[in-house]
Structure 1
């Protein structure tokens, strides 16, 4: 969240404040006083009333949408947490910043004992740039960009941190009682499940309330000191094992997952009301979105809804990467707006810099674009969306057309064990249990007519031939810009660890 004294001059001011939040969803609140992002983990496109969820259990987020702008075509940079978060804070695809895997048995997830990489010093993060413009930056919640000391968020532009290097699930040292540290700045102040209780049986935990109070206190402190700020609120209540505080447990029609969503909704409402009470809402830009689609494997009690879209987290079908997104900036964004702009979490990097009068780094490829023309003037910017998994470009969207160069839902091995990332959604020839290559004849869908990606266009149709000529040129141009970063998420094989001082150490 960003908040600062506002002297509005036309579109933007160098004193905008930003606020983001990321868990299953991300909330970014930038303003002339502050920038903020609220982000939530693994929330689906169909989890909010504003996006069609029928139980209408998200009144605060729905009101945020009615007061701001909905993005219907907004995407994560990856169908998994860590790569998407790295992309959000660098404005760069995971294949460029190194947040991908190349070894065969890795799934691009992030398990500390097995993965020792993280965000590299060569990458420039959003808070590093905002700090130069006088902003105080705080992250609350899940970091997920490396658990070793050199990857600590305070070494990458943040001034304050309360949360964990990773998520609240194992295996860590013990699957039943994971050994997960919680930090305040540089000091470890406890562990999940011990000092910060999570009851795996009932789902009761007070973490969201703790994270909410951290956000409210930080905003109040920055407003009192007239200091512009950036808040990255990255809670993880909707990530399995899903949790909620006692007051919210059992209150949703959608099980424990719905309880967590209701508590998140309530928290977002309190943050926005706090900005209004302090008189800085018109100086603060807030953005809410997610780092990947809902994990359908966790359904029905711990999984969300991806609405009309195919599959979920882990896949590059629409359900794995299309996210709910809301921009809120009272007095600047026309209320009740709905945008069909193709957007990405990487755009929040470039847009935030634009809000505070800064340019993105010119010495590297930046994939995020400035969304302010779309947000403030209703302009549509022509741009493609690339769907990556690991270092492979799986698909690309140009306009309403999406071409799959590779398809994969999950492996036969996982599927035989009951792990299904597309439960009840098998589409013959589309959802595949092997990584199927379609580079010669990509599967092409018109997402306007077929948002569920069930009916690929005929290879011999004039429509297919004409559209693929355009898409092929876009893909060729894109691939010419790709210089892969050093992969950071490869699983460390303990059998080949380098021995240093008698201990096994993975070396990247």
Structure 2
């Protein structure tokens, strides 16, 4: 009965929005809500006070959760940045949208500036579709879906952009490797470590403040014009090398990483306060999450916390895939709620289209779930979470149970060099340094009793056999129907790096590219 009421409520909402989009707003039909997606970079499940971080240094995010809904079981689509962002904006697994590599089994791949590929033209991105409902869209921060001209975010539905195509790694010498450009809309306006300095020694950078002002200005402009907006605020201060502005440096109990988190928390507070000042909180849907788990390889000085979960970024254990997630929509979502719905960043695509009164594309498989029934009516939908690493399905969660078909952290060679994705968390037979196959007898964990994935169920137990009977057909159906996209992350070429971004000639910032030599990208883990 509850499920039927939830579906009916969502259908009524969609009908109102369809009528609104048809121009009936003057009759009192509500306009579609503004959509604000706050995507953090390498922030872990355990980094917020509301998730148990002991320093309690995130009062604004904690208040956001108290006034909204917390999702403790929310996942990314991949344990790495680029594929998870592609999944969020397309509603599709990276194996479908092309953000993976076939250069090795179960290899994590992303878009450093030598990668030739990017988001394919055949993929439909969220801002493209939202245009049909009259939305104006802006991305602030890291794009990471390809830096060559055909992959520019304004070619894929966004109307405005302030940010960078790649991570803020550097500084580089602009001879062997160029510094990463920062764009305003179509053209670069400078480069990291040049016009946009980051002091690696002190950690000082003003970027979060710049990104905050971009968000505030955009919201004010769209409200003044009475246009629904989509703001994708994808900032990167918590990705190593972490940074914060001077007023926040040295203020956290957690060191420099905590300084970055405190500044992000303060910025979120200012964004929510602006929505309140403009009296548009009931008209603005806000969702906060992260692109993947905390990078424990950079911890503790440059990385965050995944709470009780195993390992971190780069792995398909819970620490690499489970994310903090908060939704805030006063007047629609009651305060102080916790939803145990299994969620995924791909759901933000589907939920956003539902908010806008738009139908899903019918010509492709969409993996995202509409979370509005869970948010508005408390409905729980039984759905699987698939854990991919590159081209390999590593695990699946259904209900409280997670089955691993492959386990791997990284190679013994890397591990002996000090590259450790699971520091202090060795679990014999689980955190393996060779690719171990378990497809015949999956390793199964009950995540409610054992969130740290330390105690696999006995193969001989009735519980194990019952779980296998439930999970096996779900996986078979998924794999039989899967049509992988063309892999975008196989080819690298030094000549395609950010030597001559659009607008470089106006700034005297064009650099001489080397000879074009395409080669297979190397993805060690």
Q: TM-score, structure 1 length as denominator?
A: 0.91
**2:452 and 2:126 mapped to 1: Cα distance?**
34
What is aligned with 1:460?
A: 460
Contact 2:102 2:490 in 1 (8 A): yes
What is aligned with 1:58?
A: 58
**2:148 equivalent to 1:148:** yes
Residue 154 (structure 1) shift: 0.2
What is aligned with 1:135?
A: 135
What is aligned with 1:251?
A: 251
Contact 1:208 1:235 in 2 (8 A): yes
Contact 1:15 1:228 in 2 (8 A): no
Residue 109 (structure 1) shift: 3.0
SS of the residue corresponding to residue 83 of structure 1 reads: helix
Contact 2:410 2:433 in 1 (8 A): yes
**2:116 equivalent to 1:116:** yes
**1:364 and 1:63 mapped to 2: Cα distance?**
38
Deviations 1:205-250 (A, max 9, x none): 0000000000000000000000110000000000000000000000
Contact 2:70 2:327 in 1 (8 A): yes
Q: Which moved more, 1:484-493 or 1:209-218?
A: 484-493
Moved over 3 A (4+): 8-13, 170-178, 500-503, 505-508
Contact 2:76 2:322 in 1 (8 A): yes
Residue 170 (structure 1) shift: 4.2
**1:212 and 1:502 mapped to 2: Cα distance?**
39
What is aligned with 2:77?
A: 77
What is aligned with 1:228?
A: 228
Contact 2:493 2:516 in 1 (8 A): no
Contact 1:313 1:320 in 2 (8 A): yes
Residue 391 (structure 1) shift: 1.0
Residue 108 (structure 1) shift: 1.1
Contact 2:80 2:108 in 1 (8 A): no
What is aligned with 1:14?
A: 17
Residue 435 (structure 1) shift: 1.3
What is aligned with 2:399?
A: 399
SS of the residue corresponding to residue 46 of structure 1 reads: helix
Residue 63 (structure 1) shift: 0.2
What is aligned with 2:293?
A: 293
**2:266 equivalent to 1:266:** yes
Deviations 1:173-204 (A, max 9, x none): 66999610000001110001100010011000
**1:214 and 1:16 mapped to 2: Cα distance?**
32
What is aligned with 1:326?
A: 326
Residue 116 (structure 1) shift: 1.1
Contact 2:117 2:491 in 1 (8 A): no
Unaligned regions of 5+ residues in structure 2, if any?
A: 1-9, 21-30, 496-512
Contact 1:139 1:162 in 2 (8 A): yes
Deviations 1:411-433 (A, max 9, x none): 11211110100000000000011
Residue 503 (structure 1) shift: 3.2
Contact 2:112 2:167 in 1 (8 A): no
Deviations 1:461-486 (A, max 9, x none): 11111110110011001112211111
Alignment RMSD, CA only?
A: 2.3
SS of the residue corresponding to residue 503 of structure 1 reads: coil
Aligned residues, how many?
Answer: 483
What is aligned with 1:182?
A: 182
The correspondence of residues 185-200 of structure 1 with structure 2, limited to 5 A, is 185-200=185-200
What is aligned with 2:169?
A: 169
**More helix, by proportion:** 2
**1:345 and 1:223 mapped to 2: Cα distance?**
27
Q: TM-score, structure 2 length as denominator?
A: 0.89
How has the CA–CA distance of structure 1 residues 33 and 107 changed in structure 2, closer, same or farther, with 3 Å as cutoff?
closer
The correspondence of residues 387-426 of structure 1 with structure 2, limited to 5 A, is 387-426=387-426
How has the CA–CA distance of structure 1 residues 411 and 493 changed in structure 2, closer, same or farther, with 3 Å as cutoff?
farther
Residue 11 (structure 1) shift: 3.9
**2:317 equivalent to 1:317:** yes
The correspondence of residues 483-502 of structure 1 with structure 2, limited to 5 A, is 483-492=483-492
**1:286 and 1:216 mapped to 2: Cα distance?**
14
Deviations 1:382-418 (A, max 9, x none): 1010000001000000100000000011111211110
How has the CA–CA distance of structure 1 residues 16 and 146 changed in structure 2, closer, same or farther, with 3 Å as cutoff?
farther
Deviations 1:313-342 (A, max 9, x none): 000000000000000000100100000000
**1:15 and 1:282 mapped to 2: Cα distance?**
19
**2:518 and 2:321 mapped to 1: Cα distance?**
34
Residue 102 (structure 1) shift: 1.3
SS of the residue corresponding to residue 469 of structure 2 reads: helix
**2:389 and 2:407 mapped to 1: Cα distance?**
10
Contact 1:179 1:192 in 2 (8 A): yes
How has the CA–CA distance of structure 1 residues 465 and 276 changed in structure 2, closer, same or farther, with 3 Å as cutoff?
same
**More strand, by proportion:** 1
Q: Which moved more, 1:364-373 or 1:101-110?
A: 101-110
**1:165 and 1:502 mapped to 2: Cα distance?**
22
SS of the residue corresponding to residue 72 of structure 1 reads: coil
Unaligned regions of 5+ residues in structure 1, if any?
A: 1-7, 18-30
**2:366 equivalent to 1:366:** yes
How has the CA–CA distance of structure 1 residues 69 and 16 changed in structure 2, closer, same or farther, with 3 Å as cutoff?
farther
